[in-house]
Structure 1
Amino acid sequence: MRKTLGLLTLLLLAPLARAGDAPPLPTLKIDASRTAAVGLSSGAYMAGQLQMAYPELFPNAAIVAGGPFGCAGGKLDVALGSCMKGVPAPDVGALVAGATSRSASGEIGALKSLAHARVYLLHGKDDALVAPAVAEAGAQFYRQLRDGMPGLKGMQVHDDDQRAFAHNLPVAGSGDDCDKSVAPYLGHCGFDAAGEIFAQMFGKPAHAATTAQGELRTFDQDALRPDGADAFLAVTGYVYLPPDCLAGKPCGVMVAFHGCRQNADAVGKAFVEDAGFNRWADVYGVAVLYPQTRASFAPLNPQACWDWWGYSGADYDSRHGVQLRWLVNAVRALGLPAGH
């Protein structure tokens, strides 16, 4: 009971915090040819939604413990069943047909922008939360999309599904949490997933990563609300700026989406500091944007998940979705050229 009251108090007091405590996003010299979206779990679905809704901005995506775009179809029961347990398995053919139709109508972006996309799908064999069948459906979605459209033959799809880890993001160190799904959902598996993600998105590194040398900053997320609409995000987000970006050199950008119960309110700076992205960002000269959700009871999102089933509105996974429009505002503010 005390834990429930504590959560209620947190949710009630959260809107009282003011965004004025955090500065705006810095404006960088963004290289629009080097962008990627990456996420874990609900963040994996969100990365796929950003890629499909705005492929002209984010053709490259790394999906960790997630499934195919459009899987939930706006229904929570489908999200919890087919799109997590894999029962029934997602109908990949129908999802590809739906994406193709939605692209033609302008609901999502032009699929031709995925002509040279890089897609990396990572899923642990010990994942008990998102079934292997769901992850495989995600890989099949991209393969069918690529093979069904003449202009997409150059899309690269790498399905990495034979590693032994649970529902988490593997990190380089060793520990006893690789086969568990416990906060902060960073499994010390001896596998540097962040390094592999950067290599898959941007090619082999020029040298190995050491410790992060750049700056992790906070920024005001409320200032980026699309047309003032509530995107159901926290007041404050994070952005990591490598030395090259701080020096004014052309800089790529990666959007890194946390999973459910992995936002800063739940795990502090664990995801934004310890997932491994920042030190590799230094090597590649890529700024990392860490947007943050917030927990809520209305709409029902007590675990602070990204919206991949429709709590923010029926258009959640389209170009009209409020969280996706917020993201476009964020990367524009960061310096992504308006012509892309």
Structure 2
Amino acid sequence: MALSVSDRLLHCLVLSVCCTSIHAVPRLASYNVDGAKVSVSGISSGACMATQYHVVHSREVMGAGIIAGAPFMCSGGLAATALGTCMMTPTRISVTALEAITSSGALFGNVDATYHMRNDRVFIFDGTRDSVVNPVAGQKVAQYYSHYMTSSHIKTVFNINAEHGMPTLNYGGACDQLNSKTYLNNCNYSAAFQLLNHIYGGLQAPNSKIQANGQLLQFNQADFFHLALPSAYSMDNVGYIYVPSGCANKQHKCKLHVAFHGCKMGRMFVGEEYVRHAGYDEVGDLNNIIILYPQVISTATNPQGCWDWFGYTGSLFATNKGFQMTAVRRMVSRIMGSSSSVLG
């Protein structure tokens, strides 16, 4: 049906506003980052993405925090396996098979050589009340990583009465309840601090009176997709970065941590709840750790707004050629700028 002149004008105006709002988001800046101090973490699908990113780019990553996640390539690229074996019946996960897949990926150059993980540090959390991801999955993550590093480098926390969500020091709903609006659980326990402290060591701990004094900034994620819009791969046009007050002037080397949100925890679903209240910002501010918060959206192939750990973006999702993996690595590279001796 043909549009009237007024309809066409309105259509153009809407497009103009949308395009202006996208382009008005600033480019991601570069900072003074120590290339040997890059780490990742995530909750739920974000935990699976953190494991993927860590294994695939272990030459560039020193540690990972896994909260209610599953081992690398657990899904085998199948949503049914992700929802079934990985999340509901993890006793059926064959860690030996996943180790073989990892070795094959390294042999063909799709993931970094596994010896790069030998000195890395991994933190694994699963709440005893988790009704979304069977806590046994955390044990399988620990078993997987124990093949590549000493047990002293793996810290597991499986004894807190927490439901599915991000455990925080003092924000969110009841720790033992499913808080499906934000998935932030007030557990009097900062998972963000605990995992970052295990990875880096010697960090200053936050308390309930400490506020983040740095800057939470938006940036344009479209910069990191060269052939299509971010939405083609279920990613938002907008991402977030938290820059601690001690890192803003770029005079001192800072650490860099990538925090992957979980399903229904991106900007589209919860606004800035996760990026402001998951607990990373306060720890980052006290310890000069820049926090990168890449964002995923809901699409037809990904209605829950999850990171791709089951192949909805294609068969290469868990390799160095995966679309989401590549975009996040480009973000990391931009933040590190010329200070990195690893990234090109």
- TM-score (ref. length: structure 1): 0.89
The 3 A distance-change label for structure 1 pair 92 and 108 is same
Give 1:206 deviation, angstroms: 3.9
Conserved? CA contact 2:175–2:185, under 8 Å: yes
Instruction: Give % identity.
Output: 29
Counterpart pick for 2:158 among 156, 161, 164: 161
Extract unaligned runs of 5+ from structure 1: 1-12, 147-151
Paired position in structure 1 for 2:167: 170
Aligned counterparts of 1:87 and 1:49: Cα–Cα separation in 2: 18
Conserved? CA contact 1:226–1:329, under 8 Å: no
Aligned counterparts of 1:214 and 1:174: Cα–Cα separation in 2: 19
Matches within 5 A, 1:1-340: 18-86=21-89, 89-143=92-146, 145-146=147-148, 152-153=149-150, 156-173=153-170, 176-181=173-178, 182-206=180-204, 208=206, 210-228=210-228, 230-248=232-250, 249-297=252-300, 300-335=301-336, 337=340, 339-340=342-343
The secondary structure found in structure 1 opposite 2:92 is coil
Give 1:227 deviation, angstroms: 4.7
Count of residues in correspondence between the two structures: 319
- TM-score (ref. length: structure 2): 0.88
Describe the superposition over 1:167-198 as per-residue Cα deviations: whole angstroms up to 9, x where unpaired: 01111127752112222001011111111112
Extract unaligned runs of 5+ from structure 2: 1-14
Aligned counterparts of 2:172 and 2:259: Cα–Cα separation in 1: 24
Paired position in structure 2 for 1:6: none
Conserved? CA contact 2:40–2:50, under 8 Å: yes
Paired position in structure 1 for 2:10: none
Opposite residue 312 of structure 2, the aligned amino acid is Y
Greater CA drift, 177-186 or 306-315: 177-186
Aligned counterparts of 1:19 and 1:175: Cα–Cα separation in 2: 30
Give 1:159 deviation, angstroms: 1.4
Aligned counterparts of 1:46 and 1:175: Cα–Cα separation in 2: 23
Bigger Rg over Cα: 2
The 3 A distance-change label for structure 1 pair 60 and 87 is closer
The secondary structure found in structure 1 opposite 2:85 is coil
